[in-house]
Structure 1
Amino acid sequence: MSGLIRRAAAEFVGTAFLVMAVVGSGVMASRLSPNDVGLQLLQNSIATGAVLVALIVALQPVSASFNPVVTLVERALGLVDIRTAAALVVAQFAGGLAGTVLANLMFNLNAVTLSTHERTGTGLWLGEVIATIGLLLVIFGTVRSGGAGRVAFAVGGYIAAAYWFTSSTSFANPAVTVARTITDTFAGIAPSSAPAFILAQLLGGAAGFVLIRYLFPAVVVPAAADGSAADRKVLS
């Protein structure tokens, strides 16, 4: 049980810092470059990619998924059991919400303000499906190639790039999506837009799982008897 608590704590802390980076860098970018949305996105994407590398390197020995879709795929692949997956997912959602509140407070904003930034449309939803599939392929493909130690750099690089090549700016993470509904800043998403984004992410997760099973069949490694996994993976 103590091991599971540590893993949940790592997911909580990691997801909180990830969201703080996403929201906080968005606020900073909008203040430093108020008239240049492209520059704001560049600043936001660099900060997010960089913090992912740092957080995954630091927390991977314990747990560093920071993403319910990744955890659910790990469960489907037999890498974690149901109780572990449930605990990690709860920690990810809680950590994301805590991260947004802290980011808001750091910039002297209200702790919670519902976003008014509508993000809707088939193009954006397709972008989330694509972003999530790509994220899963990067994570599990890197691990399958024997590069578990390089996952942090692969994921950080992928997310920084996906900010630009996907129409949705690559949320690719239900916990981060929910967390971003309570900040009315550059990184926010209106609560009414979040369900469709999360559905698209889950669809991307299902498609990604099928591709992983087909492309990397040897990645399916049963969870250890104590519920631990040999290599904790990630990801945004």
Structure 2
Amino acid sequence: MTAPRSLTLARRLTAEFVGSAGLAAVVIGSGIAAQQLSPSDVGLQLLENALATAFGLGVLILVFMTVSGAHFNPVVSIVDSLSGLRSWRDTAFYIPVQIFGCIVGAIFANLMFGQAAVTVSTTVRLTPGHFLSEVVATAGLIVVIFALVRTGRATLAPIAVGAYIGGAYFFTSSTSFANPAITVGRMFSDTFAGIAPTSAPGFIAAQLIGAAIGYLLVRFIFPERRVA
């Protein structure tokens, strides 16, 4: 028997909220841990943060992908709707839930490491290089996800997306946020993974541009959708 539509939507939104909160907790919590474990080695801090994020993100996608699609990211939801794979109504519900989830995850990360629940980040990140990095990182993320979807290999997304984000921590100067929701969440933690509120709008603009570029690339390179 099929669940009532409202109940199905409630389950999907819950999955997106929990997954987004989990993602923020992983990113910010591992950043705080890295600062504490390797206080004098920024490169090692970044490696620890990247590995935890890559593994954590992969697991979260694997857990929730059959419920909500495991987006945890407004630009992924937008491209999903542009591709005709999800209704715009669903995306309109997904986006605020993803943002709120990332804020809650940031608060939990702060509390787990004995920080104040909310500390507004003072880390200014926006430079021309960071802006370009976010365009590249987000375009790449969209290509990875939707190339797999359009070629019938979506089941590989947990591994591929986790690996891509882990690698992009190092090949982009911005450390590859590639996600407007996590960008907002990171504003609420004045720690290694934080971003100052003044830098966030520029990051989000770059992410939207990158998502548009990624979407166009996917449509050009993979014009036909195949089912596995």
**Structure 2 partner of 1:17:** 22
8 Å CA contact 2:17–2:97 kept in 1: the answer is yes
Do structure 1's residue 5 and structure 2's residue 10 form an aligned pair? yes
**Structure 2 partner of 1:226:** none
After superposing on structure 2, the runs of 4+ consecutive aligned residues of structure 1 that deviate more than 6 Å are none
Task: State the TM-score, normalized to the length of structure 1.
Answer: 0.92
**Structure 1 partner of 2:76:** 70
**Structure 1 partner of 2:206:** 200
8 Å CA contact 1:27–1:185 kept in 2: the answer is yes
**Structure 1 partner of 2:161:** 155
Give aligned pairs, total: 222
8 Å CA contact 1:77–1:220 kept in 2: the answer is no
Of 27, 31, 42, the residue aligned with 1:37 is: 42
Distance 1:219 1:71 in 2: 18
8 Å CA contact 1:114–1:190 kept in 2: the answer is yes
Q: CA deviation at 1:45?
A: 0.2
Distance 1:155 1:27 in 2: 23
- The one-letter code sitting in structure 1 at the alignment partner of 2:97 is A
Distance 2:225 2:137 in 1: 21
Structure with more contact order per residue of length (Cα contacts < 8 Å, sep ≥ 6): 1
- The one-letter code sitting in structure 2 at the alignment partner of 1:146 is G
Matched residues, percent identical?
A: 53
Q: CA deviation at 1:132?
A: 0.2
Distance 1:143 1:73, change over 3 A: same
- The one-letter code sitting in structure 1 at the alignment partner of 2:163 is G
**Structure 2 partner of 1:54:** 59
Map 1:29-178 → 2, pairs under 5 A? 29-63=34-68, 64-178=70-184
8 Å CA contact 2:121–2:194 kept in 1: the answer is yes
Decide which moves more: 141-150 or 197-206.
141-150
Task: State the TM-score, normalized to the length of structure 2.
Answer: 0.95
**Paired residue secondary structure (1:218):** coil
Q: CA deviation at 1:203?
A: 0.4
8 Å CA contact 2:151–2:225 kept in 1: the answer is no
Deviations 1:62-102 (A, max 9, x none): 01011000000011111111210011111100100000000
Q: CA deviation at 1:146?
A: 2.0
Q: What 5-or-longer segments of structure 1 have no aligned partner?
A: 222-230, 232-236
8 Å CA contact 1:54–1:152 kept in 2: the answer is yes
8 Å CA contact 2:150–2:226 kept in 1: the answer is no
Distance 1:56 1:107 in 2: 25
Q: CA deviation at 1:220?
A: 9.4
